[in-house]
Amino acid sequence: MPKKVVQHSKPSWLTWAQRIQALAQSGLYYTSDVYDAERFRELSRIVCEIMEANTLSQPGEVRMVFASQSGYATPKLDIRGVVFKEDKILLVRELQDQGKWTLPGGWVDINEPPSQAVEREVREEAGKIVKAVKLLALYDSNQHGHPPLPFHSYKLFFLCEMLGETTPAPYETAEPSFFAQQEIPELSTTRVTHEEIQRLFEHLRDPSLPADFD
């Protein structure tokens, strides 16, 4: 049986807010009644107020995130590339989060296979040409110590084999560097946690481990 990292409970308000927003988003997608549609929009506005009052988001930021979502509400997919070199793991500095560090990665695009998504993200953010070779973990972000986010997401960690190097795209990340297990810098915990990093090193030491989940 796969070993799982310690699961963390999330605050009740976050569970309620995410469920209400999912119902509002799905309701807007299915309803044809103008009065019901306005009720769903009002529910979404209330959730925005709850999120902004309990997170570090800027005024209007949550509303913009919700406005970009449509259709039946499902979890978003956050993909992360795990690249090892001489027992060190590849991290990049996240320019949008006070210069904290993370595994290269991001949201999976529509019609993009997960392996291609992670290979693209590692190339763009770290300047490494890689091939995805194994899914190491699929985690529910709500269960693994990540700070509250407006939406529910799953995190996919793929082991990647490095094939070459290229020039990274200097948009959101910088300074791709390799770190030993005891040298991990301050992390951007919305993207990856210290416990998740430590678990990935366990996969490095024992390649026979199956993929973690939940």
- What residue spans in the chain does CATH classification 3.90.79.10 cover? 76-213
In CATH, 76-213 is 3.90.79.10: yes
pTM, two decimals, is: 0.75
Distance (Å, whole) CA 104 – CA 89: 11
Higher-scoring residue by pLDDT: 129, 66: 129
The bridge status of strand 212-213 relative to strand 128-140 is parallel
Question: Binning pLDDT at 50, 70 and 90, where does residue 5 land?
Answer: low
Task: Work out the angle between the directed axes of helices 34-54 and 12-30 (0-180°, nearest 10).
Answer: 160
- pLDDT confidence tier of residue 56, bands split at 50, 70 and 90: low
Q: How far from each other are the two terminal CA atoms of the chain, in whole angstroms?
A: 13
Mean confidence (pLDDT) of the chain: 88
| Amino acid occupying residue 175 | E
How far is it, in rounded angstroms, from Cα 189 to Cα 100? 9
